[in-house]
Every structure is written in C-alpha cells, then in structure tokens.
Structure 1
Amino acid sequence: MKVYTIGFTKKSAREFFALLKKHSVKKILDIRLNNCSQLAGFSKGADLEYFCEICGIGYEHNTRLSPTKSILDDYKKKRIGWPEYEEQFLKLLSERKVEELFNFGDGNNDVVCFLCSEEKADQCHRRLVAEYFKCKNPKLDIEIVHI
C-alpha cells in the first residue's frame, strides 16, 4: 500500500489538489501543530477542510502527529539540529503510541496523505511520521511517496 506526504509551500491550490487527485488520495491527515497561520493561504484548517470536502477527500487535523511547540521552537531557533529534532520527535511519537491511532490496511485509511507545510519532505516531520508508521506495520509493505 502507498502512504503519501505533501507540503503546501510553493504550491498553488490548483497544483496542490491536482497532485492529490493524480494520486487518488482519499484522506488528508493534517499533522501541522498550527493549521491556522495567516501564511497558510488556501491551506488554513477550516478552508482546507472545506476544499477537501468539495473534492471528495476526507480531512482530519491531528496534533498527536505534530511536534511539541518546544521541540519545534528549538529546531527553528537553531538550538538543536535536524538529527536532534528527529531523535526527539521519534521519541515523542513512541511515547504518544501513535501507531494505535490508525489501522492501516483496514480500508478506512487507504490512500492517506500526511500534510505539513514544508516544500520538501527530507527535513519535515511528515516524512518521519510516514516512516514511523511503515516501521510499525512491516506486514503491510508500505511504500512512502512524497508528492
């Protein structure tokens, strides 16, 4: 099964939704800590939920899959580097037991896409979340696709 990730930065609404449609995404899991920033444009939480509804895509905002404000601030203010951020965030996911949130492969979470703001996934927590679920579900042969 495929699990997708997407960031909205440097994408127009047209490009963003075209990518979701192209990959047959059925549900967006918004894993941003703050999904109502003025900088979010079309991807502000309530607006994005409405646009997804129009497109027939489910939407859920889940901060259990977000970093804490402290971890995020430490990284943004360069008090920690990416390796430390990654280590702290993965520890947080484990402590929160987020693998219990979803039952991938039951048909209800098929074609899911983790959403965050970063343009690229290499240094974004959405990649870490997708990899965490892949690691916790080895029997499902999850393929992660960053769109």
Structure 2
Amino acid sequence: MSDASRGFFTIGYGGRPPEEFTGLLRAHGVKLVADVRARPDRASMGAYTKAKTADKGIEKLLADAGIAYQWLPELGNVFLDRDEWTARYTELIDRAGDLLTDRLVELPGPFCLLCAEKRVADCHRRTIADFLVRQGWRVVHIE
C-alpha cells in the first residue's frame, strides 16, 4: 500500500438508530463509508440497505449527512454462514489481503469500514482492520 500511514475507522450499525449512526460518523470526521458487507442489498436492513438507486437506503442516509458511500464486495465475509467463519476469513485475508484491500488506498479519507455487527469483536471488519494495522495503518473502532 502506497500510503500505509493513513488512518481509518470502523463501525457497525446494528441496533443503532440512523441518527445516532450518522452522528457518530460526523463526530469522527468521516468523509466516506466503505461498506464491507457481502449483501448490503438485503431488504431487512431498513435504512442501512443498499437500494437499487442512490436516492434511497444507506446511500441516501449518508448523502443527507454529507458522507460518501462505496461498496467493496471483495471484502465481504463469504464465510459468515459457517461456524468457523473467523478462522476461514482470517486465512483469506492472510493469503490475499493485499489484493482484497488495494482499493482502500484510493479512497478519500478519512473513511470508515462499515458492517452490521455493532461490536467489532463480533465482526469480520476486525480481521480487515488487523491486517491493515500490520501494514502500518492506524485504526479507531467506533463503538
């Protein structure tokens, strides 16, 4: 990564009202949310759904708060339905982390990795963050 000294944030929206969620992002100066969910288009996610058009769902929620949105499907947790997802996703990042995270360098900062789980300890975004920290990045987990 060419700019490994960069910092970034992570956040989970689970159980957060949309106003609290966007307030936390604004309070931390986040300019772009990098969505690392495998299926952000699921309708059960309400305001956090990636709708078919940017004037609805998460893109509208963020745009109304002055925050850009980018979906990064390559960072989605493809092992989420397996009991051993943590070990499998960690192995994937250990083997292909440079390839999977290369678009993050291009994102305007400060950016924030987004997933559903409110607690970072329960989410694959922790694995992504740990990989980036080993590359020299700085992270703040918004909890």
TM bracket, shorter-chain basis:
0.7 to 0.9
User: Aligned ranges for residues 1-147 of structure 1 at < 5 Å?
Assistant: 1-46=6-51, 47-68=57-78, 71-74=79-82, 78=83, 80=84, 82=86, 84-91=87-94, 93-94=96-97, 97-103=99-105, 108-136=107-135, 138=136, 142-147=138-143
Shift of 1:126: 1.0
User: Unpaired runs of 5+ in structure 1?
Assistant: none
Greater helix proportion: 1
Q: Is the 8 A contact 1:67 1:89 kept in 2?
A: no
Q: Is the 8 A contact 1:131 1:144 kept in 2?
A: no
Q: What is the count of residue pairs matched by the alignment?
A: 133
Q: Secondary structure at the match of 2:109?
A: coil
Shift of 1:39: 2.2
CA distance, structure 2, for counterparts of residue 63 and residue 92 of structure 1: 17
Q: Secondary structure at the match of 2:70?
A: strand
CA distance, structure 1, for counterparts of residue 17 and residue 138 of structure 2: 28
Q: Is the 8 A contact 2:34 2:114 kept in 1?
A: yes
Shift of 1:103: 2.1
User: Unpaired runs of 5+ in structure 2?
Assistant: 1-5, 52-56
How much identity, in percent, do the aligned residues show? 23
User: Structure 2 length as normaliser, TM-score?
Assistant: 0.81
